[in-house]
Every structure is written in C-alpha cells, then in structure tokens.
C-alpha cells in the first residue's frame, strides 16, 4: 500500500497496483472488516486519483470489468455499473439519497486560466417552504465527494498547502478534502461569531504556518446573501498576503425558485464570490431559502 500511495502522489518512487491486486482489494473492502458486508466497490475507484497513470492494459481491463458479450455492463463481485472515464461525476452514486438529491446539471464557474470551468452540480429541492432542509449523512457525504471530483477535474493538479474550514461544518469538509485530494495538507479553522455589525473571528481560529506563496482552499457549508466569504478572504489574505485562494462550498442559494440555474450570477452569492477573486470556485449543490442544515446541526 505504501508503494502504491507513493507512486500515486508522483514522487518518482513506488509502483502502480496490478489489475489482479485491485480486484482482490475491491472484493475485500466490499466485505468489510468482519467479512460480512456486501458493499460493491469498483476496483477503478481505488485508484481514481491516478487512473490515467496506470499502464494502458490495466486501464482497459478496469474499463471492461463487468461488461457482457452484448456490451452491457452488469454487476460482478467488487464492481458496479460504473465507467470512470465515461461517468467521472458519478463516483459515490451508491450513496445518493434519492429523497433529497434532485436534478444534476452543468454550471460554468470562475476558474484558473486554461482550467475547466464546467462543473456538475446537483439540486437540493425543499418541499417544506420556509423551513431548513435537514441533510442526512448520505447527502452530506455525496456532496463532499462531488467537490473532490470537481477539484480533480480542474484541468491542472491543485496541490493545496492549507485547507481551511469555516465553522464546524466547513471543518468537516476541509478534513475530508485534505485527506482525499491534498495528501493530508495542513488544516486551518475559522470560527465565526455574530456581532452587532456583522461577524468576527473567534480567538480559537487556527492559522497554520505556510510557505511564502501558499495555495489555500477555503471550505464553507453554504453561501447565501451575507458577505461572509469576503470577510474571510480579507482575513486570510492579511495572514498570507501572497496566497492563491480557492473556494469550495457545499450549497449555494439561488435567486429564483428554479434551482437548475443557467448562470453563476443566478446565485445569490455569485457577485460575492466574484469579488473575493478566487482562483477557482467549486460548488456541490444549489438550494432554496432559508437554506440547509448539516447532520448533527454542525455550525
């Protein structure tokens, strides 16, 4: 495992996993630590981050696992109906919560020069008008997986030095993304307190030490009307004046009732995010007022 992880992170050492090893691991992990579970785990998902660097024969083998003579994909032990090349945004679809997640659509967002501006976003319909939509763990996890997938498909490798979480929900997001996408980079914490004239940072906020030109990813659970993002970016730039900032948000509120927006500026926080001058923006879902609530009411 050490050799594979070293190879996947492009350190010039280690060795790629063989197709046979991936098949064995996908079955073993799918059965769980007690050998009693029945969770289908695609072998390609185990090396999703470095799939393109595998030997071409192993890529072909992973793509054809579970395809019958008619070319129709059918489940086999350790695989699901999934092709990592043709459906890059469907990783984690087994964990989708059908009662909470609505339509999926493509949205163009601000991004790096020559980067991929098209991201796949899902809607969070709320049938209880005027009430917060309480997310379950399946939806929360699916949204974080969607952000990770968008980051991977940015068009260039994003090597973050720090992943900041805004309040507790953002901290959970930052922890998962730092581990999954950024080789366990440093994690920062921004605890916001409401004050009479807006918000202020709590003394328990944490700013890790970084190099002179750090790449920083800021994670927030939702973006509405308030300019929390602008306040946060000003604080971070005062600490890291030469930083390159990226923004990952779980839910972005829309101006109209239709959650399937046609433009980034149809989001209530669209102009707020533009003014923050992020190098790139990642959005998991769109939502309607009054917003969404994370599991366990993480603040």
- pLDDT greater than 90 at residue 56: no
Mention every residue, 6+ apart, whose C-beta is less than 8 A from residue 46: 17, 22, 25, 26, 29
- Per-position DSSP letters for 114-161, written without gaps between them: T---EEEEEE---SSTTS-EE--HHHHHHHHHHHHHHHHTSSS----S
- pLDDT greater than 70 at residue 74: no
In eight-state DSSP terms, residue 295 is G
pLDDT category at 296 given cuts 50, 70, 90 is: confident
pLDDT (mean) for 143-157: 94
What's the pLDDT score for residue 79? 40
Q: Is 257 exposed, middle or buried (0-12, 13-18, 19+ CB in 10 A)?
A: exposed
Residue pLDDT, tens place only, 264-286: 999 999 999 999 999 999 999 99
Mean pLDDT of the chain: 83
In eight-state DSSP terms, residue 57 is H
C-alpha 128/C-alpha 260 separation (Å) is 18
Q: Is 33 exposed, middle or buried (0-12, 13-18, 19+ CB in 10 A)?
A: exposed
- pLDDT greater than 80 at residue 184: yes
Cα-flanking dihedrals φ and ψ of residue 159, to 5°? Answer: -100, 95
Q: Comparing C-alpha atoms, which of 260, 196, 212, 221 is closest to residue 229?
A: 221
Residue pLDDT, tens place only, 205-219: 999 999 999 999 999
What's the pLDDT score for residue 80? 41
Residue ranges of domains in the chain, CATH in brackets = 2-64 (no CATH), 93-297 (3.40.50.2020)
């Amino acid at each position: 495992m050490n050799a594979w992880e070293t190879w996947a992170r492009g350190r010039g050492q280690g060795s790629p996993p063989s197709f046979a090893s991936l098949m064995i691991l996908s079955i073993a992990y799918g059965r769980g630590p007690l050998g009693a579970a029945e969770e289908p785990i695609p072998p390609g998902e185990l090396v999703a981050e470095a799939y393109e660097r595998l030997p071409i024969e192993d890529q072909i083998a992973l793509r054809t696992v579970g395809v019958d003579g008619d070319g129709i994909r059918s489940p086999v032990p350790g695989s699901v109906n999934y092709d990592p090349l043709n459906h890059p945004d469907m990783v984690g679809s087994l964990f989708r919560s059908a009662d909470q997640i609505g339509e999926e659509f493509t949205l163009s967002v601000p991004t790096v020069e020559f980067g991929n501006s098209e991201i796949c976003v899902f809607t969070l319909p709320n049938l209880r008008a005027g009430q917060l939509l309480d997310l379950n763990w399946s939806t929360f996890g699916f949204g974080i997986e969607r952000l990770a997938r968008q980051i991977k498909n940015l068009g260039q490798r994003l090597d973050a030095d720090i992943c900041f979480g805004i309040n507790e929900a953002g901290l959970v997001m930052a922890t998962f993304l730092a581990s999954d996408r950024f080789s366990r980079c440093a994690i920062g914490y921004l605890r916001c307190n409401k004050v009479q004239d807006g918000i202020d940072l709590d003394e328990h906020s944490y700013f890790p030490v970084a190099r002179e030109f750090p790449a920083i990813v800021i994670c927030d659970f939702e973006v509405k009307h308030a300019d929390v993002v602008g306040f946060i970016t000003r604080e971070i730039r005062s600490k890291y004046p030469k930083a390159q900032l990226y923004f990952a948000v779980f839910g972005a509120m829309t101006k109209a009732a239709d959650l399937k927006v046609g433009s980034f500026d149809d989001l209530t926080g669209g102009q707020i995010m533009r003014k923050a001058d992020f190098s790139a923006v990642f959005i998991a879902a769109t939502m309607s007022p009054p917003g969404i609530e994370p599991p366990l009411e993480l603040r």
